[in-house]
């Protein structure tokens, strides 16, 4: 895991995969690992919609990385 090597990391996932993110973190002994959840989907959206998701996610990612 990147975090265990002393490197800051932030996970971003869509709401559809949030439960998988929590279970994966728990499996690797990192329950409560912070992640950023954005709207699903990201593959079939316009560039404008993707930018809107980015505007929501970016400050959360920065908060995780700066913690």
Q: What pLDDT is recorded for position 3?
A: 67
Reported pTM: 0.81
Q: Which two tokens stand for residue 29?
A: 């002994």
- For residue 10, the tally of other CB atoms under 10 A from its CB is 19
Across the chain, which has 67 residues, the per-10-residue mean pLDDT values are 77 95 92 93 94 96 94
Contact 55, 62 (CB under 8 A): no
Q: Phi, psi at residue 56, to the nearest 5°?
A: -80, -45
């Amino acid at each position: 895991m990147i975090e265990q090597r002393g490197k800051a990391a932030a996970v971003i996932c869509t709401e559809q995969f949030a439960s998988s993110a929590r279970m994966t973190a728990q499996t690797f002994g990192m329950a409560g690992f912070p992640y950023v959840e954005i709207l699903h989907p990201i593959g079939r959206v316009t560039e404008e919609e993707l930018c809107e998701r980015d505007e929501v996610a970016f400050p959360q990612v920065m908060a995780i990385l700066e913690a």
